[in-house]
Amino acid sequence: MKINIKDIPVSIWFLAAVSLALAFISKDQYLLTLFAFAGIYVIAVSGLDLLFGYSGQISMGHAAYYAIGAYTSALLSTKLGVPVFLSMIAAMVVSGIFGIIVAFPAAKLVRHFLSLLTIAFGQMVYIFACKAKAVTNAMAGVKRIPKLNLFGFEFRSNLSCAILILVLCVLFLIVKQRIVHSSSGRALMAIRENVVAADGMGINIKKYKIMAFAISAVYTGMAGALYAHIVSYISPESFQSSQSQLLMTMLLFGGMGNLAGPIIGAVIVTILNETLQGFSSYRMLIYGFIILASVLYMPKGLYGIVEKIKGLFGRRVKADADN
């Protein structure tokens, strides 16, 4: 897939420039860690957007791929001594394979039936992580996970981790942009709008639905692997159904079916999630309210509101120029 620098959207360059400036200026280690987590969520939510926002397939158990990516990379690097770079690639591959496995039955389902399937898969992965002590160490979790390193360079400081995650964010967003503007992306959007019409146009519905699941799982698996190596410890508690709800909240709040929406949603909800740490009993209620409000009053998310304001401002400027 050839990437032309001129084709990279302004939003990606803006994200990179602002984030890099903030990362270098900030000496607050807490803020740098928060920045790293926001970047991880940008990758995960961008993957969910490819599935739900572009192909119209809802996934209410997407934390399953987050867990698969995290455990795959963590176990390979701790138990088998596989280099972190290779274990993270393996995490993407394994997550993609599970995405394909789920996609075969999912391709035949729609709406609430598809939701139930993905919820069930998410719970299966969570229960496996809780019970399979020989593999996942059950509730005790996986400890002493190696820090991120690339070709011998270890990213120990919060600043270096934040910069690496920023670079990966930009790369994954560029790939997403290329997919969306390819023939495959147009096929996914045709399926989202009208499956019957897309089938009549000769689009292989099953093939593209499976492809969307696989790519989405790869993105989220990579995010999970990054999370594991950033925190150096994972347990099933990090991959409960609430994590799936968090990813969906980010997507709906920011706006789906575009490049900027998942970025906006991931960053704002990450900050909100950290702010609400003292209200853990009410967090799910608040996320539920955000999802409900987004669906009812912001169907295109915050990005849609920004676009509306831009449109109104543009028309006003044009009218003033004509006068």
pLDDT of residue 176: 94
DSSP-assigned states of every residue in 171-183: HHHHHHHHHHTSH
Chain-centroid distance, C-alpha 262: 8
Q: Distance (Å, rounded) from C-alpha 234 to C-alpha 216?
A: 22
Q: State the pLDDT at residue 237.
A: 92
Extract the residue ranges of the chain whose pLDDT is less than 50. Answer: 1, 3, 317
- Max distance between CA atoms of the chain, in angstroms, equals 75
pTM above 0.85, yes or no: yes
Report the pLDDT value the prediction gives residue 126, as an integer from 0 to 100. 97
Contact in structure between 54 and 185 (CB atoms under 8 Å): yes
Residue 312 class from Cβ within 10 Å (0-12 exposed, 13-18 middle, 19+ buried)?
A: exposed
Q: Distances in Å between the alpha carbon of 181 and those of 177, 224, 319?
A: 6, 26, 32
Sign of CA dihedral 22, 26, 31, 35: positive
Q: Which of 160, 136, 35, 161 is nearest to 78 (CA)?
A: 136
Q: ∠ at Cα 111 (190, 120), nearest 5°?
A: 125
* Whole-number Å distance between alpha carbons of 304 and 40: 23
How open is the CA angle 317-320-322, to the nearest 5 degrees? 110
Question: What whole-number percentage of the chain has pLDDT above 70?
Answer: 87
Task: Tell me 139's DSSP state.
Answer: G
Q: What is the pLDDT of residue 1?
A: 46
Instruction: Please compute, for residue 230, the number of CA atoms within 13 A of its CA located in the half-sphere on the CB side.
Output: 25
